Amino acid sequence: MSLQDLCHWLQNSEWGTAIRESVWLFPIIEGTHVLALSLSVGTLLVMDLRLAGLLLKKEPVSQVSNQLMPWSLSGFAIMFVTGILLFLSQADKAYGSIWFRLKVLFLLLAGLNAAIFELTLRRRIATWDTQEIPPFRARLAGITGMILWAGVIAAGRTMAYNF
């Protein structure tokens, strides 16, 4: 079974068809997806701006992170589930969309950026936690995160208007 065949099967599954053909289900899922995106990326933006040394300079990075990450991760979980449901409803179109592929690429790169931060910089956070301007690699992680999430959002919105 090819990837395109899998997408066709997913779109025509009971779930995909029910979501796509429902008067209420698709808009509710899509609205929830956008609200969860706002929660997740909005809180990540504050964290990335702190890492970049542009916001909340007097607050320790660990304190900002501890307060925001539960919200961000909750929003991401909801966004991920609703994104899968939206994909199910239009998998054939998504498969053929360069914008969907770019969105997934940006998502993977944002995840890689976060993983690199967590596995390297966070381990040494005690040495730079209270600095108003974090070290270069932390600033780079923050700026990269903002760029990648802007790419996810731009590709996602463009994809939605090109189906």
* Mean of per-residue pLDDT scores for the chain: 96
Query: 60: domain range?
Result: 3-161
Is the pTM here over 0.75, yes or no?
A: yes
- Closest by CA to 138, choosing from 40, 73, 57, 38, is 57
Transcribe the chain into DSSP letters: --HHHHHHHHHTSHHHHHHHH-TTHHHHHHHHHHHHHHHHHHHHHHHHHHHTTSS-TTS-HHHHHHHHHHHHHHHHHHHHHHHHHHHHHTHHHHHT-HHHHHHHHHHHHHHHHHHHIIIIIGGGGGGTTT-SS--HHHHHHHHHHHHHHHHHHHHHHHHHHT-
Name the domain count of the chain: 1
Per residue in 133-147, pLDDT (tens digit) is: 999 999 999 999 999
